[in-house]
Structure 1
Amino acid sequence: MLKISRLTDYAVVMLGYMAKHPEHTFAAGEIADATGVAVPTVSKILKALAKARILKSTRGAKGGYALAHTPEGTSVAAVIYALEGPIALTECEGERGGCEQSSSCDARGSWEVINRAVRAALESVSLADMARPGGKLPDEYRIPVASIQKSIKNY
């Protein structure tokens, strides 16, 4: 089973909430109250997302965190990358560039195609998509296969 970490799951929930009010600056406590995520966890995630430039932070009495880009301009892939690192299903596509068997692995190219497709699919989903009321996408919403195919060719 493929899974993202709990922190990344919380980040998507938090950012989905923030995406509903894209011009607002949020305090950590406000996000914690709205999402049910504990304040220390919210703070940790907010700092990581600010470091990745998904959020911008402002100091001071009226400070807090705000989206650095529009909800439509921030992909779920960017959030996952910020908290988990490169998106890959296997080690041969990770930052280390391979495993012990990489020099003799015939499956490496196949995994590369799959990893690109997964990344392209995640890049096609934005925070705006995640913030839709009730978390439901319209019936006609589909991940655009043509853009995934184009993205795979460009990798």
Structure 2
Amino acid sequence: MFRINKLTDYAVVLLVDMARSDSVRAAHQIAADTGVPGPTVAKVMKALVRSGLVRSARGASGGYVLARPADRIAVADMIQALEGPIAMTACVDTAEEGCEREGFCTMAGHWNRVNTAVRKALQGITLADMAAPTLPPPWAVEGVMASSAGQESYREGSRASS
């Protein structure tokens, strides 16, 4: 299973919160607003500042703010800030380490297509997309209402016949 690590998950939570508030806030305020523990917020913010996704300001009115608009920060950027280059396997063109089977591996070069597709998909979703409010699809709301109404009618009908 392909999974991002817990710190990356927290980074996305923090960035979404920052995109929604659009104001400079201290780490302790971000922690209080998101429910992420303060030490974790501090650790994640350091990585996000280092990667250029977040700016920090010192002083009494200091804190953290997005370094660029949310629609210019891709999910791929968020993942790479905490985990490094996106790669499904270690045997890709950009890998720093070689593989002992590299000379005769039948998969050599094929994983690059998968990595490119995953990276492209993650580049196509922005922080603004992630921060947008989610609404249930109309069919889900109608289905719940219709289902509830149907059950209510059934109950009323069964009471009437008893």
1:109 and 1:90 mapped to 2: Cα distance? 11
Is the CA contact 1:56–1:65 (under 8 Å) kept in the aligned structure 2? Answer: yes
Structure 2 residue 25 is the aligned partner of structure 1 residue 33: no
Structure 2 residue 135 is the aligned partner of structure 1 residue 132: no
The CA deviation at 1:137 is: 8.8
Structure whose CA Rg is larger: 2
- Which ranges in structure 1 are unaligned for 5 or more consecutive residues? 140-155
- Which ranges in structure 2 are unaligned for 5 or more consecutive residues? 139-162
Deviations 1:5-31 (A, max 9, x none): 000000001101111123x11111111
1:137 and 1:117 mapped to 2: Cα distance? 28
Match of 2:54 in 1: 55
Match of 1:143 in 2: none
Is the CA contact 1:76–1:125 (under 8 Å) kept in the aligned structure 2? Answer: yes
Runs of 4+ in 1 over 6 A off after TM superposition: none
Is the CA contact 1:72–1:128 (under 8 Å) kept in the aligned structure 2? Answer: yes
AA aligned opposite 2:107: A
AA aligned opposite 2:70: P
AA aligned opposite 2:47: A
Identical aligned pairs, as a percentage?
48
CA RMSD of aligned residues (A): 1.8
- Relative to the length of structure 2, the TM-score reads 0.79
- Relative to the length of structure 1, the TM-score reads 0.82
1:108 and 1:34 mapped to 2: Cα distance? 46
1:133 and 1:44 mapped to 2: Cα distance? 27
Q: Secondary structure at the match of 1:66?
A: strand
AA aligned opposite 1:84: E
Match of 1:153 in 2: none
1:116-131 map, 5 Å: 116-131=116-131
